[in-house]
DNA sequence: ACGCTGATGAAG
DNA sequence: TTCATCAGCGTT
């Protein structure tokens, strides 16, 4: 597989809101290969999305929306193409993209990126040197991109946090599994990742 | 395998 | 107000 080069990426080629306003599992698959960009102090940080998970709505027992609307999950009920960010385990943030038409509380968890932009600054924010450790997990990538709850409900077609077109990923390159870190609804294989990509989470660190 | 850490939401 | 739980990470 040809590796996506930073100079090929057009920061003005953002995914439209209509992209997110579709069935969540489709959005989760189609996000693989797209490029997430965070702009902080006029510097761009980010990389190619290599791992996602779909959370489908009130009928999905693993979703934050499984028990209806609360102060935390209200962004999931809003318009698609916005960021739903929550604080977890006392120290980490997780980034989701809201999907489906307004009123349907679904989202895609962004689980891992292949770093492309601002690697030096991401190493500083994460306090690790290993590029493989920078964004290979939902908590890690939020730390690397300086993403926290102040960006909750942020419009993904805006300037602070946005997604642009990147690599074309063929269906053959996409693997599926059960979603990680949950104890319910494990029969649903709604985690998607790029086969053999070293930046996917949950892998032993190799030299 | 476990401790870190604090918001969240359900129960009382 | 208390309490168990938690879409994770790093170290053991």
pLDDT tens by residue, A35-49 = 999 999 999 999 999
d(CA A184, CA A52): 18
The gap between A139 CA and C2 C1' (Å) is 28
Q: In whole angstroms, give the CA distance from residue A16 to residue A142.
A: 22
Average pLDDT, chain A: 96
Answer for A103: CB within 7 Å of strand B. no
Nearest residue (Cα to C1') for B5? A90
Burial A28-55 (b: 16+ CB within 10 A, else e): bbbbbbbbbbbbeeeeebbbbbbbbbbb
Residue A79: CB less than 7 A from any atom in strand C: no
pLDDT one-digit tens code per residue, A94-132: 999 999 999 999 999 999 999 999 999 999 999 999 999
> Does residue A86 approach strand B to less than 7 Å at its CB?
yes
- The reply to whether A93 Cβ lies less than 7 angstroms from strand B is no
* B4 closest protein residue (CA to C1'): A90
CA of A71 to C1' of B5 (A): 21
Nucleic strand B within 7 A of Cβ A127: no
pLDDT band at A60, cuts 50/70/90? very high
pLDDT at A3 over 90: no
Q: Is the CB of A91 under 7 A from strand C?
A: yes
pTM for the whole thing?
0.96
């Amino acid at each position: 597989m040809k590796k996506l080069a930073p100079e090929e990426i057009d920061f003005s080629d953002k995914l439209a809101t209509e992209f997110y306003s579709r069935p969540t599992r489709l959005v989760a698959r189609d996000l693989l290969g797209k490029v997430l960009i965070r702009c902080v102090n006029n510097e761009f940080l980010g990389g190619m999305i290599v791992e996602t998970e779909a959370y489908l709505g009130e009928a999905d027992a693993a979703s934050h929306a499984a028990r209806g609307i609360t102060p935390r999950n209200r962004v999931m009920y809003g318009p698609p193409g916005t960021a739903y960010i929550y604080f977890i385990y006392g120290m980490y943030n997780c980034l989701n993209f809201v999907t489906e038409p307004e009123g349907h509380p679904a989202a895609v968890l962004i689980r891992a990126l292949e770093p492309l932009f601002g690697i030096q600054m991401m190493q500083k924010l994460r306090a690790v040197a290993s590029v493989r450790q920078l964004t290979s997990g939902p908590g890690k990538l939020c730390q690397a991109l300086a993403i926290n709850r102040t960006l909750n409900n942020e419009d993904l077609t805006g300037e602070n946090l946005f997604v642009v077109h990147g690599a074309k990923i063929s269906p053959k390159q996409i693997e599926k599994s059960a979603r990680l870190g949950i104890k319910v609804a494990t029969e649903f294989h709604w985690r998607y990742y790029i086969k053999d990509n070293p930046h996917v989470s949950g892998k032993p660190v190799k030299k």
